[in-house]
Amino acid sequence: MNRKIRSIGAALCTAGLALLTSHAFAGDSDPAPGIHAGDVLVRLRAISIVPQVRTSDALSTLNVDVNNATVPELDFTYMIRDNIGVELILATSRHQLTSSIGDLGGVNVLPPTLLLQYHFNHQGQVRPYVGAGVNYTYFYNNGLHAGGQQIAVKRSSFGPALQMGVDVDITKKVFANVDVKKVWMKTDASLNGASLGTLHIDPLIVGVGVGMKF
């Protein structure tokens, strides 16, 4: 399963890069400035994931914390109207957990996120946008442990997501992007069947990258 997820992620990133590369220099009769209904926007970002950790029960007593991570992110936006788009965000990251008793190991997080966006100034060169939606978080490749025993975690959760960002045209088809998201995600942890409490990761995600309009 882990290999399959990593393979799917690698294939998606490769496909996104191929699309960006193949179309960056492709001819275009005279693309309209800005974005319009029916356009597809593909962005590739480098994102910094900064967990805003909250814990309960034994996890609080142990001062459990989650480290930051920097990973690539690929997203696709379909413009259903000139100002309204639907975006699917794909990325995965691995996070190390620490506590007052030492390093607890790491776990991978896969949080595909679907957002409904409103784009301002859709015909302009500089286009701010805001978004809101939902994420499904899948926890996998669990390497968490304490006292020589594995810490079990609930494998999935749903939570809201908020977004704001801006696209700035470089050419009629290529643009730069800055994006900030807040995503709510959590998991329940246990050791030998005994509950340790709930870990809320709730990261702030800051990204910069490039995109292309199709």
Q: Which residues contact 132 (CB under 8 A, 6 or more apart)?
A: 115, 116, 160, 161, 162, 163
Tens of each residue's pLDDT in the chain, 214 residues: 445 444 544 444 454 444 444 444 444 455 678 999 999 999 999 999 999 999 999 999 999 999 999 999 999 999 999 999 999 999 999 999 999 999 999 999 999 999 999 999 999 999 999 999 999 999 999 999 998 899 999 999 999 999 999 999 999 999 999 999 999 999 999 999 999 999 999 999 999 999 999 9
Structural domain range at position 179: 2-25+38-213
Number of folded domains that form the chain: 1
In order of 15, 42, 174, the CA distances from 122 in angstroms are 27, 16, 15
Residue 47 is part of a domain; what is its CATH number?
Answer: 2.40.160.20
Q: Is residue 33 part of a domain?
A: no
Predicted pLDDT at 117: 98
Q: Is residue 207 part of a domain?
A: yes
Q: Is residue 31 part of a domain?
A: no
- Count CA atoms within 13 Å of residue 48 on its CB side: 4
Q: Is residue 32 part of a domain?
A: no
Q: Which residues contact 22 (CB under 8 A, 6 or more apart)?
A: none
pTM of the entire structure?
0.82
| Residue 204, beta-bridge partner list | 50, 182
Predicted pLDDT at 204: 98
Q: Is residue 127 part of a domain?
A: yes
Q: Is residue 30 part of a domain?
A: no
Q: Is residue 193 part of a domain?
A: yes
Predicted pLDDT at 8: 46
